[in-house]
């Protein structure tokens, strides 16, 4: 799933080209056996030259290649260099590339669906009526302008009417699903008892992307803080506050104190650190000063017997801040969070201020996205599966699902062979790893059971109310499940989402329909490029079950150490080498990739590529593979892999994602795994002095 500003839901590991693309979503297979004297064995092998000639069914977009760059020197730019030079980022985007283009295609398809529904007369209370009214209301800017602040009035009255800190706690509970307050509640499978849903606390409530933006002195962060103070002042002024400049400073100071007690993204990735089950009584003792019974009642969780406190020290720090910070400051803070989180369905002045900060200052966009595209995004969160049901009927042929099932089976088989061939792992742990692999569940395209939206109230002409009710509807739907059996058939993404993910508590890999499209999955392309693109994506998601996080869960989804101590130590040593490799990459001057934060995704990228290459070679069953466009099958595989990462982003967006995102920038996701893959070096005959050359003995091979 995509991971962006605000709370990042724990548990699901998305592929996420756009922070979270997806998310999903979320080293080294045993080396492919090469003949003596090959490049993989340390020698050199003569390779046919790469001839840049178009071939319509290879699956490669040769027009985007850069003939002046050799794959041996820079695989990413060899496959994408011309595109990078000739494809400026559109002014309404912070990121641009193949995955973004595929997302735009999905959005256009959704737009066509919903505009058809919005134009017709639909049965009252039907999903079709709700989709049409939601979308049409979101686009009706004249009605939003006319309504002014009236839709906010009940919420502002609640905030202004707070009399004490007990009322503050209760209101923060009632705001779950509506406004991102400092402590948000998830409902998810219990990490050590994955058959039961458990309430989970999670830190949140910052207006800047994360704690670093408040605490680091570097100039780029300082400029973001300056822009944020201006935005706070604008929101408060537009919302009717009398002394907006002073109140903006009060709100910023409160958020800065919250940031100081929040956990780092690296700590938040640790499933053992974030698993702290407590009874409500124990929570009250651990974090006094906050009215926990009132908060849980407001959050519809008054009857829970146990909950998981993800960041205990943060909860203590937050409780202390509630005590030591004036009620007046908390009121201004809640006003800001309400105005900021719902700015898109407020009058134009709010929307303009929201874009100037979130879009321009933080993401680097030059202009705002089209209103219709924002509407489809909002609709995805509100009625996503109702839209998805129509989407798959039009855009996901049964043959696509059948082919994906075949590819998944091949990748799982290749993974099993690689586990058997590991030299650093004992037979005892290998057996347990195979047991986990045998229990993988693959979900492809769409869910078997569609979500019921019959109780969601959608009203024509009420954009603000529709967004708020949809958020609360989803929260209440999940809150009602706390303590009850888990529904393993549920999906964490809609079919129209261009992403994929692994869920460790379900031990499942999930591929929505919208990602199963060219250039990632092309029914007309040759096997090499499909295995290099969608095959490596499949391998990536499988590998999340064996990365530094997922490997702590067993085949039944339990947080359970199934490793011997020696094997875990060897695994962590391999991971440390990967941390060092990626930690040396510097996408922005003075800002390197956080190798520890991105470790799980880097393991998944590395292992996904290596397993996909193994699966591709197995799939050919020894038959001759034709040369297409002057490229061997193996070369096409690696160029297909690099092409899949074709993208670029603005500097401000790069800074944001380096700070909050667990995925490395695209060029390092393409080149970083390739330099560790024996097949790449053999395919292109790399030699010392080449930019991508890495001696065989130093290549990292985990799975």
Confidence class of residue 13 from pLDDT cuts 50, 70 and 90? Answer: low
The average pLDDT across 167-181 equals 98
Q: What is the per-residue pLDDT for 624?
A: 86
Per-residue model confidence as pLDDT tens digits over 274-302: 999 999 999 999 999 999 999 999 999 99
Q: What is the DSSP string of 327-366?
A: HHHHHHHHHHHHHHHTGGGS-HHHHHHHIIIIIIIIT--S
Q: What is the per-residue pLDDT for 623?
A: 85
pLDDT over 80 (residue 234): yes
Per-residue model confidence as pLDDT tens digits over 557-595: 999 999 999 999 999 999 999 999 999 999 999 999 999
Per-residue model confidence as pLDDT tens digits over 98-112: 999 999 999 999 999
Other CB atoms within 10 Å distance of the CB of residue 473 = 18
The average pLDDT across 3-26 equals 44
**Closest CA relative to residue 32, chosen from 683, 610, 687:** 610
Q: What is the per-residue pLDDT for 15?
A: 64
Other CB atoms within 10 Å distance of the CB of residue 115 = 16
| Strand-pair category, 193-203 with 307-309 | parallel
Q: What is the per-residue pLDDT for 16?
A: 59
What is the distance of C-alpha 123 from the center of its chain? 36
Least confident of 195-204, 333-342, 350-359, 618-627: 618-627
Per-residue model confidence as pLDDT tens digits over 50-100: 333 344 478 899 999 999 999 999 999 999 999 999 999 999 999 999 999
Q: List, in order, residues 6 or more apart from 313 with CB less than 8 Å away.
A: 261, 263
Q: What is the per-residue pLDDT for 11?
A: 61
Q: What is the per-residue pLDDT for 50?
A: 38
pLDDT over 90 (residue 25): no
Tokens 């009058």 belong to residue? 347
Cβ pair 138, 374 in contact under 8 A: yes
Cβ pair 21, 499 in contact under 8 A: yes
Tokens 């060897």 belong to residue? 570
68-72-73-78 Cα dihedral, nearest 10 degrees: 40
Per-residue model confidence as pLDDT tens digits over 600-633: 999 999 999 999 999 999 998 888 899 998 999 9
pLDDT over 50 (residue 184): yes
Please give the Cα distance from 646 to 669 (Å, whole number): 10
Cβ pair 12, 495 in contact under 8 A: no
pLDDT over 70 (residue 38): no
Tell me the percentage of the chain whose pLDDT exceeds 90: 89
Helices and strands (H and E) in the chain: how many: 27, 11
The domains found in the chain, sorted by start residue, are 13-99+384-449+489-698 (3.40.390.10), 166-345 (1.10.1380.10)
Q: What is the per-residue pLDDT for 18?
A: 39
Please give the Cα distance from 583 to 579 (Å, whole number): 6
Q: List, in order, residues 6 or more apart from 395 with CB less than 8 Å away.
A: 109, 513, 514
Average pLDDT of the chain to the nearest whole number: 92
544-546-550-551 Cα dihedral, nearest 10 degrees: -170
Per-residue model confidence as pLDDT tens digits over 522-549: 998 889 999 999 999 999 999 999 999 9
Helix (H) or strand (E) holding 96, with range, is strand 95-97
Distances (CA, A) of 495 to 104, 392, 694: 14, 7, 40
The tokens for 230 are 């201006």
Confidence class of residue 242 from pLDDT cuts 50, 70 and 90? Answer: confident
Q: What is the per-residue pLDDT for 654?
A: 97
What is the distance of C-alpha 542 from the center of its chain? 16
Q: List, in order, residues 6 or more apart from 222 with CB less than 8 Å away.
A: none
User: Which residues are 485's β-sheet partners?
Assistant: 196
Please give the Cα distance from 536 to 604 (Å, whole number): 9
The tokens for 349 are 């002045």
Helix (H) or strand (E) holding 647, with range, is strand 647-649
Tell me the percentage of the chain whose pLDDT exceeds 70: 92
Other CB atoms within 10 Å distance of the CB of residue 630 = 13
Please give the Cα distance from 467 to 451 (Å, whole number): 18
Q: Is 234 helix (H, G, I), strand (E, B) or coil?
A: helix
* Long-range contacts of the stretch 135-138 (C-beta < 8 A, 24+): 135/375, 135/376, 135/379, 136/460, 137/459, 137/460, 137/461, 137/462, 137/463, 137/466, 138/345, 138/371, 138/374, 138/375, 138/378, 138/379, 138/463, 138/466, 138/467
**Closest CA relative to residue 495, chosen from 513, 518, 515, 517:** 513
Please give the Cα distance from 45 to 47 (Å, whole number): 6
pLDDT over 50 (residue 212): yes
Cα Rg of the chain (Å, integer): 25
Per-residue model confidence as pLDDT tens digits over 133-150: 999 999 999 999 999 999
Per residue, what are the HEC states of 267-313? HHCCCCCCCCEECHHHHHHHCCCCCHHHHHHHCCCCCCCCEEECCHH
The average pLDDT across 26-50 equals 31
Cβ burial of 477 (10 Å; 0-12, 13-18, 19+) is: middle
């Amino acid at each position: 799933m995509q991971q962006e500003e605000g709370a990042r839901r724990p548990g699901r590991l998305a592929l996420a080209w756009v922070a979270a693309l997806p998310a999903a979503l979320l080293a080294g297979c045993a080396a492919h056996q090469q003949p003596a004297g090959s490049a993989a064995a340390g020698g050199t092998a003569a390779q046919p030259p790469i001839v840049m000639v178009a071939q319509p069914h290879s699956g490669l977009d040769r027009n985007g290649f850069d003939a002046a760059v050799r794959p041996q020197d820079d695989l990413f730019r060899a496959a994408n260099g011309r595109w990078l030079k000739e494809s400026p980022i559109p002014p309404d985007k912070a990121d641009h590339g193949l995955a973004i283009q595929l997302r735009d295609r999905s959005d256009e398809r959704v737009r066509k669906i919903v505009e058809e529904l919005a134009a017709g007369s639909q049965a009252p209370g039907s999903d079709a009526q709700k989709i049409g009214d939601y979308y049409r209301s979101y686009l009706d800017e004249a009605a939003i302008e006319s309504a002014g602040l009236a839709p906010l009035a009940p919420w502002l009255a609640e905030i202004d009417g707070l009399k004490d800190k007990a009322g503050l706690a209760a209101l923060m509970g009632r705001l779950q699903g509506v406004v991102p307050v400092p402590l948000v509640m998830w409902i998810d499978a219990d990490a050590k008892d994955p058959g039961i849903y458990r309430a989970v606390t999670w830190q949140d409530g910052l207006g800047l992307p994360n704690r670093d933006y408040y605490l680091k002195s570097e100039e780029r962060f300082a400029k973001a803080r300056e822009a944020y103070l201006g935005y706070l002042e604008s929101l408060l002024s537009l919302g009717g506050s009398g002394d907006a400049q002073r109140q903006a400073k009060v709100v910023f100071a409160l958020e800065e104190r919250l940031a100081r007690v929040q956990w780092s993204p690296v700590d938040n990735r640790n499933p053992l650190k974030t698993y702290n089950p407590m009874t409500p009584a124990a929570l009250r003792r651990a974090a006094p000063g906050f009215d926990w019974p009132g908060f849980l009642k407001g959050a519809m969780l008054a009857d829970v017997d146990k909950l998981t406190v993800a960041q205990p020290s943060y909860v203590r720090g937050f409780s202390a801040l509630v005590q030591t910070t004036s009620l007046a400051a908390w009121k201004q803070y809640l006003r800001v969070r309400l105005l900021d989180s719902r700015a898109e369905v407020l009058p134009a002045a709010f929307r303009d201020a929201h874009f100037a900060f979130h879009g321009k200052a933080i993401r680097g966009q030059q202009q705002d996205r089209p209103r219709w595209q924002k509407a489809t995004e909002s609709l995805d969160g509100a009625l996503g599966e109702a839209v998805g049901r129509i989407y798959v009927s039009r855009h996901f042929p049964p043959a696509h699902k059948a082919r994906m099932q075949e590819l998944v089976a091949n990748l799982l088989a290749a993974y099993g062979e690689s586990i058997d061939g590991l030299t650093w792992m004992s037979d005892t742990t290998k057996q347990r790893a195979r047991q986990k692999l045998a229990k993988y569940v693959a979900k492809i395209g769409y869910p078997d059971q569609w979500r019921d939206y019959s109780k969601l109230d959608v009203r024509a002409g009420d954009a603000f109310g529709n967004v708020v009710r949809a958020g609360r509807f989803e929260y209440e739907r999940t809150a009602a499940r706390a303590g009850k059996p888990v529904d393993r058939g549920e999906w964490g993404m809609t079919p129209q989402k261009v992403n994929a993910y692994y869920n460790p508590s379900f031990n499942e890999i999930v591929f929505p329909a919208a990602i199963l499209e060219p250039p990632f999955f092309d029914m007309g392309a040759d096997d090499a490029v499909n295995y290099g693109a969608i095959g490596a994506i499949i391998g990536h998601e499988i590998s999340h079950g064996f990365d530094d996080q997922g490997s702590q869960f067993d085949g039944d989804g339990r947080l359970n150490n199934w490793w011997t101590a020696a094997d875990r130590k060897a695994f962590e040593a391999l991971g440390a080498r990967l941390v060092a490799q990626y930690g040396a990459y510097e996408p922005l001057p003075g800002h390197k990739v956080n190798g520890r934060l991105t470790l799980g995704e880097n393991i998944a990228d590395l292992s996904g590529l290596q397993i996909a290459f193994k699966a591709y070679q197995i799939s050919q069953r020894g038959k001759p593979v034709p040369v297409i466009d002057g490229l061997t099958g193996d070369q096409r595989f690696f160029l297909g892999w690099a092409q899949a990462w074709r993208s670029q982003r603005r500097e401000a967006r790069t800074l944001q994602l380096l700070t909050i995102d667990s995925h490395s920038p695209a060029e390092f996701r393409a080149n970083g795994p390739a330099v560790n893959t024996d097949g790449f070096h053999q395919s292109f005959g790399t030699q010392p002095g080449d930019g991508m050359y890495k001696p065989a003995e130093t290549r990292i091979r985990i799975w």
